[in-house]
Amino acid sequence: MNQAAAITRTLREEDIAVLTFNEPEKKANILSKRVLDELDSHLNELAEMPLAGLLIHSEKPGIFIAGADLREFAVSLDMPAEETAAMCRRGRQLFQRLSQLPFITVAAIDGVCVGGGTELALWCDRRLVSNSSHTEVGLPEVKLGIFPGWGGTVRASRILGLANAVEMITSGQSLSPDEAVKMGFAEDQIAAEHLLSAACQLIRAEQKTKQFERDRKAWDQPIQLGETELAFLGATASALIQSQTKGQYPAPLTALEVLLEGSALSADEAGELESQQLAQLWGTPVNRALINVFFLSDRNKKDSGVENPTDQAVSEVRSVGVVGAGIMGSGIAAACVKRKLPVSILDAQQDALIRGTRHVLEEVAYNKQTKKADAERLTEFAPLVNATTLDAEVATSDLVIEAVVENADVKRQVLSRLEAAMPAEALLATNTSTIPIGRLAEGLAHPERFCGIHFFNPVRKMPLVEVIRGEKTSDETVLRAVAFAKAIRKSPIVVNDSPGFLVNRLLFPYMNESLQLLTEGVPLKLIERMAKQFGMPMGPITLYDVVGLDTALYAGKVMWEAFPDRIEASPLLLALVKAGRLGQKTGAGFFAYPDSKKGKGQPDPELDKFLEAYRKDAPTPDQETITARLFLPMLLEATRLLEEGIVRDVRDVDLGLIYGIGFPPFQGGLLFWADRLGTEKILAMLKPLESLGPRFQPTPLLDRMAREGKKFYQE
């Protein structure tokens, strides 16, 4: 049976053709080989038609074109560089034909337009964007360890200007409709319903002026830029890229070199340079790792949270109650309000309620464009916030999330009290970071409607939400919790009940080991440096100060009690907490924080007094051993977690750590990194460390994988 066409051709007016992208049975238009072949066929026929212009648009709501089909490309990661360059060349030359047709071509963009979709639009003579909030334009290829390869570097630098193209391509950030117009990508932003009419008017105007023909000639030529200006742009952009990537992501710097060198060449020569240089990045370890992260994220977007979900519609969460107006409670409330969900926020302390409500309103009123509070946003969102000290005003919500102090007894009291006042169809959840759901469900009348919905701090920045199902949590509860998290633009991962769940269970061995190294005499700066050199966003000891030493101590107690054989209680941590050194929030922890606003830690000589009391005699490990000691306990704990069935898929482990603690994407994830090392090498790295105890002894799963020659992504 013939597959329905992804591109249809019609006439808007007798001499204006329209190519409409609408790939059947898919939520997004993707530039697969089949779709590109269709485009090639249409362009062949259009070239022979007596037209005034061609419009390109999409019928999919909220989507123009979402880029190339990465699954097709991923199978060619081992392709020789010359074949990769040829593949890029074919795509670029296909799109280039849009700028060679004997009439003007216009892209009418409504919705997401990224990657290959943006490159296609750039090869058109003109572009219009809708002013809808869902419209964005971007070239995010550096986030995959490459850069645009179908002429994006060539056209962007000529149409937007070299400096703008450098910013757009090396950052990978998308443009809003307003930014797209200001930067010169689009002629104008138009209401979506008038987009095609405006495009037709643009074609009629260009028929008279023929400006598009003059632009075509100009954009085929080298860019006229003085040597001094070019050198300054190169130096400043390179410095910025180095500071942001720390040398761990090669694509942005290579893209910069291609943009600068290509600016002095003709469009065809610059395109060939683009193809050749992209081929050098394709299939590299960083490219493979970042493509893996893309697939992890893509899978998560489609995951309902349970195996074999029914087709029955899941009841939508339309109102949320948050109990506890502290940092986490107010952050959760703000995340809901920003997505137009009404929130009742409850706290017994009036001053805490006032502070928390103020935090919610400040966050929802913040305008990213102006970088300050927006009165219009405040007016829009403020009616959605109800601050209260009365249980009854929270208990009427579709979902109530408890976010009080991390104490099991206190949480159980709050949960039981709220459940009694809630309607039968409502969900009850806890934001606990470590306490097992089963313990908190004790005494609840309906544990099947109870689960964990664990947000990460700061909520506004961290995409991950752990949805924790207790032994009695129903599938329907999980489905509703997952759908709620996605509705507020978070990435939920479902995990089974366990102390620390997924992220904290893997994070604590890493953090705990850093304190073991510290008391063994390894310099604090060296521990931090090796963690950051591996790619972590901050060192583990800085992380203690950011989290709060008291919070780490209380949460760590749960982990020590659950896994005493491999998590050692640190007397150093307890001593610092007793001394009131709680981290950034008190101005001193492992580091000193003389400037509370900047939050940057400084070495503190006072720490030596505490260290001396708990110093152990131990040989000083080399740098490679320090890295192994930090990350191998995390890996071994992940194998135990897999053996226990805490997660449904190895990919949940990797995405959870990337989104939850900032595990370096260029490593592809903890288990992806382990697969790259191979089990034989991991066992060899563990051998000299086994005397340190169970936390460095191979697990049955790791031994079995080594015997059978398997990888985590094959399990």
pLDDT averaged over 10-residue windows placed end to end, the chain, 715 residues: 85 96 92 96 96 97 93 90 96 98 98 97 98 95 97 98 97 96 96 96 96 97 91 95 94 97 97 98 96 95 88 88 95 96 95 94 86 87 95 95 92 95 95 92 95 94 96 96 97 95 95 95 96 96 94 87 88 95 94 81 93 88 96 97 95 97 97 97 97 95 95 84
As to burial, measured by CB atoms within 10 angstroms (0-12 exposed, 13-18 middle, 19+ buried), residue 86 is: middle
Residue 715: what pLDDT?
A: 52
The Cα–Cα gap between 301 and 482 comes to 10
Cβ atoms of residues 498 and 469 within 8 Å: no
Instruction: Give domain 320-498's CATH architecture.
Output: 3-Layer(aba) Sandwich (3.40)
Cβ atoms of residues 63 and 31 within 8 Å: no
Residue 584: what pLDDT?
A: 92
The SS3 call for residue 651 is helix
Cβ atoms of residues 421 and 434 within 8 Å: no
- Which residue do the tokens 């065809």 mark? 268
The Cα–Cα gap between 308 and 329 comes to 33
Note if 454 is an active site residue. yes
Residue 2: what pLDDT?
A: 64
- Which residue do the tokens 């929130």 mark? 343
Residue 597: what pLDDT?
A: 67
Residue 567: what pLDDT?
A: 86
- Domain segments of the chain as ranges: 7-283, 320-498, 504-645+678-714
State the CATH class of domain 7-283.
Answer: alpha beta
Q: Given strand 427-430, what is the order of strands in its sheet?
A: 385-388, 343-346, 320-323, 399-402, 427-430, 450-455, 464-469, 491-496
The Cα–Cα gap between 266 and 609 comes to 66
Cβ atoms of residues 339 and 384 within 8 Å: no
* Catalytic residue (one of 42, 57, 359, 454): 454
Residue 411: what pLDDT?
A: 94
Fold of 504-645+678-714: N-(1-d-carboxylethyl)-l-norvaline Dehydrogenase; domain 2 (1.10.1040)
The 3-state secondary structure of 6-25, one letter per residue: CEEEEEEECCEEEEEECCCC
pTM of the model: 0.92
